[in-house]
Amino acid sequence: MSDTPMFRAADRNKDAILGVLRDILPATGTVLEIASGGGQHIAYFSRALPHLDWQPSEVSPELVAHLDSLTQPNVLPALAIDVCEAGWHGAVGVSTDAIINTNMIHIAPWGACLGLFAGGAELLPVGGLICFYGPFVVDGGYTSAGNEAFDRSLREQNPEWGLRELAQVCDAARAAGFDMERTVDMPVNNLSVVFRRANR
């Protein structure tokens, strides 16, 4: 499991993502990771940021069981979460101050992005954040030839998949009560995109 391309990518990008998280996460609280995969990110981030509690989650029962093998004291038991299901936020059961999501919304139906914002609006306090990491389409264009080829291959695998237009993601965020705070250019033509729950 740990040698799949997805998990190798998690090892490559963890330092860059951690740099963003150091700047944006609160001093205390709980961070929910949606789609934790093999757990490399949450294991790494929880060691680097021990002042926070970390809540892993996955849709696959196999991966939930794998995530439960993480033994760090500030990592909570993994949750089975499908953000496409209405009311998924009810499964969390702990107060949540931030949500992070890496490389998911382009390999899931658009409803996963909408569902993540909808659940986040229920879980997060005003000022709570959602941080995405991954490839996006920006102003109608690809940021690299590689991203264009990647988007094509995803849509060939599943017509509901594909790189998301950043403006569309921002529209979905606003509709759920979040403002886009910043984008951060990341390695290999990816972005980190940070949204804050607005007081409205």
Model pLDDT, residue 19: 97
What 3-state DSSP class applies to 31?
strand
Distances from the Cα of 42 to the Cαs of 19, 31, 193, in angstroms?
14, 10, 18
Distances from the Cα of 34 to the Cαs of 5, 83, 84, 139, 143, in angstroms?
19, 8, 12, 26, 25
**pLDDT tens digits, one per residue of 76-102:** 999 999 999 999 999 999 899 999 999
CA distance 65 to 79: 9
Model pLDDT, residue 10: 63
**pLDDT tens digits, one per residue of 16-70:** 999 999 999 999 999 999 999 999 999 999 999 999 999 999 999 999 999 998 8
Give the predicted TM-score (pTM) of the model: 0.94
CA distance 14 to 31: 16
98-132 burial, b at 16+ Cβ within 10 Å, e below that, comes to: bbbbbbbbbbbebebbbbbbbbbbebbeeebbbbb
Report residue 11's pLDDT band, with 50, 70 and 90 as the boundaries: confident
What is 5-197's CATH number, 3.40.50.1370, 3.40.50.150, 3.40.50.300, 3.40.50.9100? 3.40.50.150
CB 9 within 8 A of CB 103: yes
Six token digits for residue 116: 């993540």
DSSP at 75: B
Angle, to 10 degrees, between the axis of helix 5-24 and the axis of helix 40-48?
30
Model pLDDT, residue 4: 44
Residue 12, pLDDT > 90, answer no
Angle, to 10 degrees, between the axis of helix 166-175 and the axis of helix 110-123?
40
Give the pairing type, strands 53-55 and 30-34. parallel
**pLDDT tens digits, one per residue of 122-136:** 999 999 999 999 999
Residue 9, pLDDT > 80, answer no
Model pLDDT, residue 146: 95
Q: 150: number of CA atoms within 13 Å, CB side?
A: 18
**pLDDT tens digits, one per residue of 142-155:** 999 999 999 999 99
Mean pLDDT of the chain: 93
CA distance 30 to 195: 17
Handedness of CA 68, 71, 75, 77 (dihedral sign): positive
Report residue 1's pLDDT band, with 50, 70 and 90 as the boundaries: very low
